[in-house]
Amino acid sequence: MAGSGKIIAAVVSILLVVGVVVGAVVVVNNNGSGNNGGELKTSNKAVSAVCQSADDQKLCHDVLTPVNTSNPKDYITQVVKFSTESVLKALNMSDRLMVESVANGTSDGGVKMALDDCKDLLQSAIHELEASGVFVNSQSLPEVFTNSAELKNWLGAVIAYQQSCLDGFDTDGEKHVQGQLQSESLDSVMKLTALALDVVAGVSKVLSELGLNLTNRPVRRLLGLDQYGFPTWLYPHDRKLINEASQGSIVPNAVVAKDGSGQYKTVLEAINAYPKKHQGRWVIYVKAGIYDEYITVDKAKRNIYMYGDGPAKTIITGRKNFAEGVKTMRTATFTTVAEGFIAKGIAFENTAGPGGHQAVALRVMGDRSAFFDCAFRGHQDTLYAHAHRQFYRNCEISGTIDFIFGYASTYIQNSKIIVRKPKANQQNIIVADGTDQKNMPSGVVLHNCQILAEPSLEAENGKVRTFLARPWKAFSRAVFIENTIGGFINKEGYIPWSAAAPNTEHAYFGEFGNIGAGADASGRVKWAKGLISKDEASQFTVDNFLQANSWLHDTGFPFDASFTKN
């Protein structure tokens, strides 16, 4: 395989150059300067083709031209290297700003929290970039582009962390620190990581135009289910595990019970009992009870499967909130940054109420996370889908303002989206997606869900304005497929983020196959995508959006691979 990979890489490099020569001739002729065109080096021609669709073409040329090669892998390695250096610079600067703010007496609790969070987020960004570098260097060229979704997933997370770092400076007194960090380092992180995504997309585009398809998967392939209704990519041992849990016959690694009948009385104790260098699933059973505690599953505790006695019985609760001086990211009752976290039959809630403003019930940052038969209860910012790929099925998600938000690739299926009554003079918005660059793989998809108003909101008879989404960032993306939408949703469907930053130019809010009194898209705002075709909607099925075939089978839960009503 190694030898054939090198041959294919060489062929791709040659084809890339041949294709670029044609493109360069066209560009030169259009510019009327044919004499200079023939003097371009082969590598420069390849760079020109790859950079053609980049948002910042000058930066693209500046970064890639020194590579002096036409091997696409080398281009990706180069831009990942530059991005890593920019993150390290930002990390060092956050340390310096912390020292300076303390020395100058300008540091307060908010600045310290924000800078501490930045450091954690930037460390995570370095981890993502290291994974990207190892992946590119250890794979053959065909493997890199067959699995380019993994690369985009890691790079997209870096931008999520960069943006989250800036989000943490949310008061006027903290803006001077934010401005320094942004102008001197974080802007470079954004530009270079966005460029990395553009380069991956650019090389793929050039190869596609040359007729060389390195991706073995059909573009529109939909995920299949086996004879038992499980995804075809689900590992047999995990299917067995989930079935045993459903039947009550599983033997968990840890049992949590408030009454002392288990090994642990708190969920956090069971999480912390996770053995170092553990392989496989670590199974935690949380018996019925209300667990008032704050929990973080760190990245070392991978592949935890935690299940309860149902969201009406097993409840993890907290009430941290922004109104009391806690940063949004830190208000979460339950946080998981570990890869492969799965939960079933548990409620996660934040009881701060509408007066608490931002108050997160669950924050998920770990890749390949999945939640089944769970409930997420809160008001503003209930579910923080922070980064990476996340799947939710048969869940209840309730809130008021931006209560499904974040930078992740988030898929919510067969669930109830319950809109609650907000404070006086407030309006409700369900989704606030943070996609900030065109080639980020993120967004929110609601498929076959019920979008409902709780009774107290229903009683308002339309006096409270409620919208499906608003664009938190420049390329915000939300898609609604085959949902039942209640008549309490305003006919416009969507609103700008704010007067100062509407973020409407590149927002993508699409709808397909929805029913119900609120599903009529004829009155939607003109800047939204509105109704989309079945072909376009198929890009947002589970497999195409989450690359489910490569991981979701680990959860052991069935799901709808394609459209259910159309």
- pTM of the predicted model, to two decimals? 0.89
**Pick from 209, 230, 253: which residue ends a domain?**
209
Residue 551 lies in a domain: yes
Same domain, 185 and 329: no
Same domain, 452 and 326: yes
Residue 241 lies in a domain: no
**Pick from 185, 209, 233: which residue ends a domain?**
209
Q: Map residue 477 onto helix, strand or coil.
A: strand
Tell which residue, 77, 13, 63, has the closest CA to residue 42.
Answer: 13
Number of domains in the chain: 2
Q: Map residue 363 onto helix, strand or coil.
A: strand
Q: Map residue 35 onto helix, strand or coil.
A: helix
Q: What H or E segment, with its residue span, contains residue 258?
A: none
Residue 490 lies in a domain: yes
For residue 264, the cross-strand partners are: 256
Quick check: 409 and 441 in contact, CB under 8 A?
yes
Residue 270 lies in a domain: no
Residues serving a catalytic function are 402
CATH of the domain at 356: 2.160.20.10
Same domain, 476 and 332: yes
CATH of the domain at 56: 1.20.140.40
Q: What H or E segment, with its residue span, contains residue 388?
A: none
CB environment 153-170: b (16+ within 10 A), e (fewer): bbbbbbbbbbbbbbbbbe
- Give the rounded distance of the alpha carbon of 235 from its chain centre: 24
Distance CA 124, CA 103 (A): 27
Six-digit token string for 145: 């582009």
Distance CA 566, CA 556 (A): 26
Six-digit token string for 14: 């040659």
Q: Map residue 134 onto helix, strand or coil.
A: helix
Distance CA 82, CA 558 (A): 41
Same domain, 183 and 288: no
Residue 99: CB partners within 8 Å, gap ≥ 6? Answer: none
340: left (phi over 0), alpha (psi -120 to 50) or beta: left
Residue 174 lies in a domain: yes
Distance CA 208, CA 201 (A): 10
Same domain, 203 and 287: no
Q: What H or E segment, with its residue span, contains residue 152?
A: helix 148-167
Interstrand relation of 409-413 and 443-447 (parallel, antiparallel or unpaired): parallel
Quick check: 308 and 321 in contact, CB under 8 A?
no
Same domain, 411 and 492: yes
Same domain, 441 and 536: yes
Tell which residue, 360, 470, 370, 361, has the closest CA to residue 410.
Answer: 370
Residue 147 lies in a domain: yes
* DSSP letter, residue 560: -
Residue 29 lies in a domain: yes
Six-digit token string for 216: 């073995």
pLDDT of residue 171: 87
Given the structure tokens 């553009």, which residue do they identify? 198
Kindly report the number of other CB atoms within 10 A of residue 556's CB atom: 27
The type of residue at 538 is S
Q: Map residue 492 onto helix, strand or coil.
A: coil
Task: Dihedral sign for Cα 227, 228, 233, 237, please.
Answer: negative
Tell which residue, 511, 468, 454, 518, has the closest CA to residue 488.
Answer: 518
Same domain, 193 and 290: no
Quick check: 162 and 191 in contact, CB under 8 A?
no
Range of the domain at 541: 282-555
Distance CA 10, CA 7 (A): 5
Distance CA 372, CA 344 (A): 5
Six-digit token string for 232: 């075809």
Quick check: 486 and 448 in contact, CB under 8 A?
no
Six-digit token string for 45: 């021609």
Summarize the chain as % helix, strand, coil (round to 5). Answer: 40, 20, 40
**Pick from 176, 209, 242: which residue ends a domain?**
209
Strand arrangement, sheet containing 289-292: 289-292, 314-318, 347-350, 375-377, 396-399, 416-419, 450-453, 484-485
Distance CA 435, CA 447 (A): 19
Residue 498 lies in a domain: yes
Q: pLDDT in tens for each of the 566 residues of the chain?
A: 444 445 445 445 544 544 443 333 333 334 444 444 443 456 788 899 999 989 999 999 999 999 988 788 999 999 999 999 999 999 999 999 988 877 776 667 899 999 999 999 999 999 999 999 999 999 988 888 888 999 999 999 999 999 999 999 988 889 889 999 999 999 999 999 999 999 999 888 877 776 655 544 433 333 334 444 444 434 555 556 656 666 666 889 999 999 999 999 999 999 999 999 888 899 999 999 999 999 999 999 999 999 999 999 999 999 999 999 999 999 999 999 999 999 999 999 999 999 999 999 999 999 999 999 999 999 999 999 999 999 999 999 999 999 999 999 999 999 999 999 999 999 999 999 999 999 999 999 999 999 999 999 999 988 999 999 999 999 999 999 999 999 999 999 999 999 999 999 999 999 999 999 999 999 999 999 999 999 999 999 887 888 776 777 666 776 676 677 77
